[in-house]
Amino acid sequence: MKPVKVGLLGLGTVGTGVVRIVEGNQEDLSSQVGSPILIERIAVKNTDKPRDIEVDAAAITDDPWDVIRDPEIDVIVEVMGGIAGTKEYILEALERGKHIVTANKDLMALHGSEILAKAQEKQCDVFYEASVAGGIPIIRTLIEGFSSDKIVKIMGIVNGTTNYILSKMSQEGASYHDVLKEAQELGYAESDPTSDVEGLDAARKMAILGTLGFRTNVELSDVSVSGISGVSKEDIAFAKRLGYEMKLLGIAESHEDEFSISVQPTMIRTGHPIASVNGVYNAVYVYGQAVGETMFYGAGAGAMPTATSIVADLVAVIKNLKLGVNGLKQIVPYKQKKLKSDEDIFYKNFLLLHVDDKAGVLAKITQVFAEYDVSLDSVVQQANPSNPDAEIIIVTHNASKASMNKVMRHLEQLKVIHRIKSHYRVEG
């Protein structure tokens, strides 16, 4: 049997995992696709770097173009990451009729439409299961498993770093900065954690999930983003007291020809299935018009979980190659939907206010909510021994984002309010 030849761009932790799986499971994989799978060329930054695995020195190059231009290679597996250069490699590989497997969420979130259009033109496959939620097969599920349904809502914990931080803060009552430092020491957080903790990583993944789930083109710029760096242990304690857990949630909702999408710290009711997802694990909750609630849970990162998804995509590409049906499963958005305005986005809100501890303050504050037609679910005023101010905790009923923006601007002008300590979305 003629082998299927693969070019690998990158041999870091994930690339090494890909090689381990392909070589370690060669007999089983070959029986699935009807041919041996041969990793023919590997592009690396440093050809002299010691490796955790043995690879043929003749297969190694420090020039990705050697891999892209090799006429023997059928499939390119891209695990080098980044956008600069990578987009050009992928587009040129497609131009040459090579199929693509990638784990690159940044590339697919920003340039997915262009890449998929080129793949369709050249009748090539571009599979990117590992770009979102690592070892969870959520992309294939959205494309195939929900093909007969209309997805109404997608809610995801899609960043393991932030979920680890918030879980530890909740379980141990620790501060954000202490847990972040611990996460960095354990290798769960980068030395520069900005992309994770400010929600940018999750936003890229949600743009991909929204595009596939709603069958439209969701741009990264459509995603409203806020991170967890402002979340305090006091916020989490208040959330738990009210029956909620704090999670960095990606939330995408679709109705008719409109959608909304955001990433933000969210108080989620403890009874909701996604509230119990802790540590570095990921989960994606999907609500379909016909199927109702479903949730997918597992490792969202790590060499082997991610490599597992990559090799599964590789197997799918090769099966298509054998059947002569490459390029037929590309999902190109076919329905234009517009981003909802703030007037049409509704959810509950939690606020913690530090205010003057005197009579009449509560009445002034509740009057502001009434002025903008925001009804209140609960209001609690309490003293805090460590704070000379009184603390007022407010949970609203569903209110439009536009109305809440007006409420917040008005509250900021009230002299009786010393500080708007916290404001979070509430779900469940």
Binding site as annotated, residues for NADP(+): 9-16
Residues placed in the known binding site: 9-16, 105, 190
CA 84, 310, 19, 22 torsion-angle sign: negative
Nearest to 265 by CA among 254, 251, 279, 280: 251
- Other beta carbons within 10 angstroms of residue 311's beta carbon come to 23
- Say if residues 263 and 224 touch (Cβ distance below 8 Å): yes
Nearest CA among 278, 8, 321, 33 for reference residue 170: 278
As annotated, the active-site residues are: 205
16/6 Cα distance (integer angstroms): 14
Which residues fall in the annotated binding site for NADPH? 105
Alpha-carbon dihedral 238, 243, 247, 252, rounded to 10 degrees? -120
Please give the single-letter amino acid code of residue 390: A
Which amino acids are annotated as binding site for L-homoserine, given as ranges? 190
**φ and ψ at residue 54, rounded to 5 degrees:** -85, 125
- Residues facing residue 158 across a β-bridge: none
β partners of residue 75: 6, 99
* Measured distance between the N- and C-terminal CA atoms of the chain, rounded to whole angstroms: 54
> If DSSP codes are grouped into helix, strand and coil, which group holds residue 250?
strand
